[in-house]
Amino acid sequence: MKIKLELYGASREFSKKDYLEFILKEKSSINDLRNEILSFIDKNFKGNNNFKRLVETSKFCSEENNIVSDSYKITRDQKIGIIPPIGGG
């Protein structure tokens, strides 16, 4: 599946665009997506610990603008937003 990860807040530092694209297996979860993003950080930002911490503490939202848990199953190509914590919390 093709996932367009929309970048908000501090996560915009991950790309010159306002999104990243990932290819995931069918019925992957948000946790699987989170792990793909962490691999992307390792590869493209030499494991930047601040970026990794940002991904680890972020929430994600579906195309319907609902906050979704790490167990949420992604069942089709879609947009997912990453919502970093604001003000460090």
Identify the structural domains of the chain with CATH numbers, from first to last: 2-83 (3.10.20.30)
- Region 51-75: mean pLDDT is 96
pLDDT digits (tens, 9 = 90+) for 17-52: 999 999 999 999 999 999 999 999 999 999 899 999
Q: Per DSSP, which regions of the chain are E strands?
A: 2-7, 19-23, 28-29, 59-61, 67-68, 73-74, 78-83
Tell whether the model's pLDDT for residue 88 goes beyond 90.
Answer: no
pLDDT digits (tens, 9 = 90+) for 51-62: 999 999 999 999
Model confidence band, residue 87 (pLDDT cutoffs 50, 70, 90): low
Tell whether the model's pLDDT for residue 89 goes beyond 60.
Answer: no
